[in-house]
Chain A
Amino acid sequence: MKYRTWGDYAINSFLMLLAVITVLPFYNVFITSFADPAAVVKQQFYLLPTSFSLVSYKLLLSGSYVGKALANSVIVTVAGTLVNMLVTACGAYALSKKTMPGRGAIMAGIVFTMLFGGGLIPYYLTIKSLHLINSYSAMILPVAVNTFFLLILINHFRSIPPELEESAKMDGANDIFILFRIVLPISKPTLAAITLFYAVSRWNEWYLAMLFVNDPKMHPMQLFLRNMLQDVTKMRRDDMGSAMLAELSQTYPDGLKMASVIITMVPIMLVYPFLQKYFAAGVTLGAVKE
């Protein structure tokens, strides 16, 4: 049964070709970001790099702007993920208890929000009326819960044997104590998975920042990147590290753009090996047996 047929070769060739197509654009971004501007002007180098230079990175990172954008992204990611986990875990625990009166109605109300929303304008007006404009909160609170992750966690909590909690209850422990001292510690793998997924989406945040944060000093890396991709030359001189950077942005915008892409991508690449472990849990709601 293990011998190879032509079918195996055909399938593998096709899948390998798909893999190359997936990787090639990344390879291309890398060599563009590490290319020497002078070499780029002279020849086309994209497929095989002929030069290596860190000038794009040096200039980008020497400016205060990228540093600030990175710091903002870190703040939003760390604080945002913390809020996400706290609100989701506490809420999911409560909603995993079938004895809680009103639980059915609450669940229906939550699932309804997956199907029907108010739309952009009412959303915008709500956030405005809460005075969240131009605050870090505007990038954190509107996405405090992901309904999908909430449902996964409710399912997970429900799968914990009730005996574990019952004895603690006999001893007079309340739900908050049980959650933090018994349930959360034994749920570490699931919590880790959801934390990672939340962290990735917080890192990728740009939309709320674009809508609600006008002050460029508070923009996260993704929005900085977006503005740069739209038009490097529009970036103001004082946003950049030096006059030389501004000049480079006129003559060789691609290197700067791709260096920014790489910088924005690095954190995702670092957590990717961990994320991968949790793929199945992330999409199947735990319903499918492995």
Chain B
Amino acid sequence: MATGRSLWKQMAAHKYLYLLALPLLAYYIVFDYIPLYGIILAFKEFNFAKGIWGSEWVGLANFREIFGLQDFWVAFRNTLIISLGRLVFEFPVPIAVALLINEVRRTRLKQFYQVVYTFPHFLSWVIVSGIMVNFLGAFGVLNQLLVLVGLEKVNLLVDPEYFRGLIYGSSLWKDMGWGTIIYLAAIAGINPALYEAASIDGANRFQQMLHITWPSLKSTVVILLILQIGRTMSSGGGGFDQIFNLYNAAVYEKADILDTYIYRRTFAVGSSYGTSTAVGLFKSVINFVLLYAANKAAKRLGQDGLY
């Protein structure tokens, strides 16, 4: 039995394991749990001299303040719209591309596609924004092509109307290939005997895709979907990095998400730490609730879920 003494003995027997785990534990305590404690700032008026604990409690005043700001609601709305757009425009693409790559019969060609598609994933959004500016800017290739075929030039980077399209497009360019890998790995795990049996039964390629490949992918799709929904309030995959590096004052009304809004409020505008923390907490709580709900829904629908 785990009486106090025998537990102590057990722990002593593993003292080297604790020693090895110490830096790791210190990392999580310092950089994840201490900031978690800082959340109480959302309910305080932060005062540098007094520190987090010493600052004055203000109840829900910070929340009342941000809920009264128009900028906040613009960012909130943009966050929801961009996240929803990602689910509609971005999420299905790697699945479709993986299914297509799987249909390519020459192994070398298959590898070639994967090598090419995956490369941009390893570049930072800083680099990608440079590439996008060069390609889509006023004198970029896109505009030269448009002029060539007799159309009007567009400046995607400063036009609020096109900016969300640019966000989805650049995410797809950067991460579509990376997204396919997990699906291709799942496809590779399918028993080839299933395909043989199906083709003997007279199933064509499309039918095989529909009745063998797709059902085997479904659980992977559901898990990734749950994770994506859990990131709604951070506007999904690229989130802050992407938008922060691509946007500019001309497109704030369409592009500003809660993450970029918090950043600007705090470091550019210099607003109170309390209200910015309140926005952050608001964001995290909604993410958490969405993740929980999505997981529950998946389970109710007979899928595996995340936990």
Contact = CB atoms under 8 A, between A and B. Distances in A.
Given A22-B120, A264-B127, A284-B185, A47 B144 contact: yes
A145 B27 contact: yes
Contacts of A229: 126, 129-130, 133
Given A118-B36, A229-B129, A279-B114, 19 more contacts: A7-B103, A22-B173, A25-B132, A25-B173, A29-B134, A100-B18, A117-B284, A119-B39, A122-B52, A122-B280, A176-B19, A176-B20, A179-B20, A222-B127, A264-B124, A272-B122, A288-B189, A290-B188, A290-B189
Nearest to B18: A94
A12 B141 contact: no
Nearest to B186: A288
A172 B140 CA distance: 67
Given A93-B20, A101-B7, A288-B188, A144 B276 contact: no
Interface of A: 1-2, 7-8, 11-12, 14-15, 18-19, 21-26, 28-29, 32, 44, 46-47, 86-88, 90-95, 97, 99-102, 106, 109-110, 113, 115-126, 130, 141-142, 144-145, 150, 174-176, 179, 200, 204, 206-207, 211, 222-223, 225-226, 229, 254, 257-258, 260-261, 264-265, 268, 272, 275-276, 279-280, 282-284, 288-290
Contacts of A22: 116-117, 119-120, 173, 177
Q: Which 10 A-B pairs have the closest CB atoms?
A: A122-B38, A119-B280, A91-B24, A118-B35, A204-B124, A94-B21, A175-B16, A122-B35, A90-B20, A94-B17
Contacts of A44: 139, 144
A99 B117 contact: no
A14 B100 CA distance: 9
Contact of A279 (B16, B97, B109, B118): B118
Interface string B9-28: 01100101111110111011
Contacts of B241: 207
Contacts of B153: none
B36 A122 contact: yes
A21 B188 contact: no
A73 B209 CA distance: 46
Contacts of A223: 126
